[in-house]
Structure 1
Amino acid sequence: MAAEAHELTPHVAISRVIMLVNPLSGSVGPRAAGEAEAILADYGCDSSVVALEGGRFDAQISEALDAKPDVLFVLAGDGTAGTIASRAGPDGPLVAPLPGGTMNMLPKALYGTADWKLALRRALEEGAPQSVAGGEVSDGAFTQSFYCAAIFGSPALWAPAREAMRTGKLKLAWLHARRALKRAFSGRLRFSLDARPERRAEALVLISPMISRAMEENTGLEAAAMNPSDAMEAFRLAAHAVMDDWRQDPAVTTRATQKVAIRARSRIPAVIDGEPVQLRHTAGVRFIRKAFRALAPVPPAAEDSV
């Protein structure tokens, strides 16, 4: 006798679901596609699970978007999930970025867990459409959206070292760390927030409203300027940057912004939603109030206001 289907969320009609899975990403693994199929089978909707293949990512994403599902679930790293959300845009299908990467900042903010199976069930059973804000970085030749955070300046050079250390490549981690040390304090950024007078900083961090602890929803990006006075202070900031509320550090100043201009004497190292890039010596960032629509449980504060 077939088991009774679990009830789908009452907040939005869901009849067609597509789930994209990158088995090589972060915490996903080769069995994830099969496990996802088993979970989706518990719900009364037409669903298909697609394992992303190297060299076919772009085509598979296009095919999924062209199919116009009610919800497009993504189990992949932050960068892949962000790319898919950007392509869906505010007028595309609902997107549910499940925690399949390393940091999983956006999935944790949306679903309150780093367990992708639990996040999947929460989205299916409690999800409602939510507009997600973000930012867009452009240097004239390169454009990329972000929904968590973007880091500009020499501290961004530590990202490759951190990633190499995470994957156990100690020699490569040391080489990246040595390069970061050589670049540190070689030249400060100059930046302007909302066309105000230029300021200088060792690094600038822009944080989306979804992630920020300081911003009200969708009022702008949180801009945090880092100005360590020496190498030891910079190391202290680096140590607190991920785990602690480093905005309380006296070497960090924050404010809300919707448009940012950045320049430097040389190429600008950056980390955009966990992906390291090298930008040209000038770049701009703009706030996007409605970047895409997510399927996620309504936050308690929003429920109380209804």
Structure 2
Amino acid sequence: MTRIRRVEAVVNVASGSVGEDAPQLVEKIFADHGVEANVCAPSTDELTPCLRRAVDAAPDLLVVLAGDGTARAAAELCGPGGPMVAPLAGGTMNMLPHAVYGARPWQDALSIALAQGEERMLGGGEVEGRQFLVAGIFGAPALWAPAREAARYGKPRLAMLRARRAMRRAFSGRLRYSLEGGEREKAEALTFMCPLASRALSEDEQVLEAAALDLKGALDAFRLGFHALTGDWRNDPAVITERCRVARIWAQHGIPAILDGESVRLKALTEVRWRPDVVRVLGIPKDI
């Protein structure tokens, strides 16, 4: 079991399913394990400065109870030489927390990690200085993420408006891509899965699973936009998969993308690379 003495915890009470009593619950769980934690529960506009201060304090462990964007930002700030990270499920999709701890409540994940936790170095993808540890999705399906989130929050009218906007933009231009310096190919979208989450890769493989999505129309984009972040997409007839360590992607305009659940906009020419050492996490045994 990894020995932990100093802990910083950042809790976003405004995120997803966190709740106002989460800071007290975090403190109690640490107290039950004989560890004192400095818990920060900032307002939304203070979240990033709070996260930076927590990393600068150089703790043994940084606990993040927030959404996907904050979990990914914590991994980027810590890097391979910084504090270990415990990303807890406090958002809506919770891609990294579920990949590390399984789809269990954050209270259970934290308790198990403190009792039986093991340090693990995670590799992942990198694009334009941003990292992803679970999945990166580029192109048409990424346009549907805002509609998907509105539907999750029970806002059907907003979901419909966002879906219409995505439909207008989805097929304005296909992506061109090259894997491992090979020939240029065309696809409506590309997905890169990390070993942490890929069903086709073992966790010790030093590659990404690349999938080219050959979408035939708006129905395909809608379907994959709502399922691309789950295991459903790989069995789709429009998907072709390969392994790679580097990929170049071209588009007529900027490329919409989702990196570990967070929507971003990339340049019209970008490169995705495998990195073997993105961040250390406090994981749990696989048989739990």
Please report the TM-score for the alignment, with normalisation by the length of structure 1.
0.88
- SS of match in other structure, 1:24: coil
- Return the match for 1:273 from 260, 266, 285: 260
1:185 positional shift: 2.4
Deviates more, 1:176-185 or 1:78-87: 176-185
- SS of match in other structure, 2:258: strand
In the alignment, is residue 186 of structure 1 matched against residue 172 of structure 2? yes
Q: Which residue of 2 aligns with 1:94?
A: 84
- SS of match in other structure, 1:68: coil
In the alignment, is residue 132 of structure 1 matched against residue 118 of structure 2? no
- Return the match for 2:63 from 68, 73, 76: 73
Q: Which residue of 1 aligns with 2:43?
A: 53
* Cα distance in 2, alignment partners of residues 230 and 209 from structure 1: 30
1:30 positional shift: 0.9
Post-superposition CA distance 1:113-133 (Å, at most 9, x none) = 330000000110010110111
1:260 positional shift: 1.2
Compared CA separation, residues 104 and 40, structure 1 to 2 (3 A): same
Amino acid paired to 2:12? N
- SS of match in other structure, 1:55: helix
Q: How many residues align?
A: 287
In the TM superposition, what are the counterparts of 1:215-230 in structure 2 within 5 Å?
215-217=201-203, 218-230=205-217
Post-superposition CA distance 1:127-173 (Å, at most 9, x none) = 011011111111xxxx3211111111112110111112222333322
Q: Which residue of 2 aligns with 1:260?
A: 247
In the TM superposition, what are the counterparts of 1:1-306 in structure 2 within 5 Å?
11-138=1-128, 143-217=129-203, 218-238=205-225, 240-300=227-287
- SS of match in other structure, 1:26: coil
Compared CA separation, residues 186 and 295, structure 1 to 2 (3 A): same
1:184 positional shift: 2.4
- SS of match in other structure, 1:183: helix
* Cα distance in 2, alignment partners of residues 190 and 115 from structure 1: 40
Deviates more, 1:99-108 or 1:51-60: 51-60
Compared CA separation, residues 64 and 81, structure 1 to 2 (3 A): same
Work out the percentage of aligned pairs sharing the same amino acid. 49
Q: Which residue of 2 aligns with 1:5?
A: none
* Cα distance in 1, alignment partners of residues 7 and 230 from structure 2: 35
| Structure 2 alignment gaps of length 5 or more | none
What root-mean-square deviation, in Å, do the aligned CA atoms of Structure 1 and Structure 2 show?
1.8
- Is the Cα–Cα contact under 8 Å of residues 190 and 199 in structure 1 kept in the other structure? yes
Larger C-alpha radius of gyration, 1 or 2?
1
Deviates more, 1:98-107 or 1:123-132: 98-107
Compared CA separation, residues 231 and 45, structure 1 to 2 (3 A): closer
* Cα distance in 1, alignment partners of residues 229 and 273 from structure 2: 24
Compared CA separation, residues 266 and 31, structure 1 to 2 (3 A): same
| Structure 1 alignment gaps of length 5 or more | 1-10, 302-306
* Cα distance in 2, alignment partners of residues 202 and 133 from structure 1: 27
- SS of match in other structure, 2:201: coil
* Cα distance in 2, alignment partners of residues 243 and 221 from structure 1: 16
